[in-house]
Amino acid sequence: MTHQAPRPLADWAAGERRAITTVFTDIDDTLSLGGRLPAVAYAAMERLREAGLRVVPITGRPAGWCDHIARMWPVDGVVGENGAFWFRHDATRGRLVRRFLMDEATRAANRARLAELGQRILREVPGTALASDQLYREADLAIDFCEDVPTLPEEAVTRIVELFEEAGCTAKVSSIHVNGWFGRYDKLTMTRIFMEEAFGVDIHAGRERCAFAGDSPNDQPMFAHFARTAVGVANLRRFLPRLEAAPAWITSAEGGHGFAELAEALLAAR
């Protein structure tokens, strides 16, 4: 571990919290808890938007889910499949805007290569399964190691990552899946593109006005970029020993209740 341990969210200065205008957040085990989206987390997103803040989920979940999230949730857009695309519902025109990093032909070719790789991983790492949401993915392969299968040991997760990387993929570990894809993008890559294209906002120059909430190793690019305004929900603690980049702050509650705690801290400062 090369980082400082996150400090309690209560220590975050009110003036810095007051400057936040955009809240980026992971979904699984950050907004959700035990595989469910608590009402307090959904209400927290709604309250933030009503107060004039942007809310943008940044997730490893698939395009099929993100279509629904962009249309139905109280959010300003969503980055999905660990940075493969952004979706945003344009209320003025009444339609969904979709922006992929790679064109359709490239995505189709990559899906075929990933399907073959997936079968190899299932053969070589007993107990794994394709994620139940794989059918709805456009650009990556998700291997389930604890969502709908009995929790696998850390050595199995490490082996999954190795198999992805041997095939030339980028691989990231979330709290439930190992996701792999062809390309060198990540959550931060597409978050930057989304904010520039949708809102004309430079998240490098204006990083002190953006907060990010996350819970697992695949959130490290966002933790590293936002540094002083990044927040881990309490269940991040189990990953801290293996993180190279950690958030500055941590909530006292887990999952969606931790996100609601963050929302309350931001709103109270305003």
pLDDT tens string 35-58:
999 999 999 999 999 999 999 999
Single residue among 161, 181, 201 that ends a domain in this structure? 181
Sequence-ordered alpha helix ranges (H) in 39-103: 39-50, 63-72
What is the spatial distance between Cα 93 and Cα 131, in angstroms, rounded to a whole number?
34
- Split into its structural domains, the chain has a count of 2
Say if 193 falls within a structural domain: yes
Single residue among 181, 213, 239 that ends a domain in this structure? 181
Say if 192 falls within a structural domain: yes
Say if 235 falls within a structural domain: yes
> DSSP of 161-189, one letter per residue?
HHHHHHTT-EEEE-SSEEEEESSS--HHH
Q: How confident is the model at residue 139 (pLDDT cuts 50, 70, 90)?
A: very high
Q: How confident is the model at residue 1 (pLDDT cuts 50, 70, 90)?
A: low
Say if 2 falls within a structural domain: no
* Helical packing angle, 154-166 and 104-124, nearest 10°: 140
Q: Is the pLDDT of residue 2 over 70?
A: no
pLDDT tens string 50-102:
999 999 999 999 999 999 999 999 999 999 999 999 999 999 999 999 999 99
Say if 1 falls within a structural domain: no
Q: Is the pLDDT of residue 161 over 60?
A: yes
What is the spatial distance between Cα 235 and Cα 111, in angstroms, rounded to a whole number?
32
Instruction: Indicate whether 62 and 145 sit together in one domain.
Output: no
Residue 162: which domain range?
A: 104-181
Instruction: Indicate whether 174 and 142 sit together in one domain.
Output: yes
Tell me which DSSP letter residue 10 carries.
Answer: G
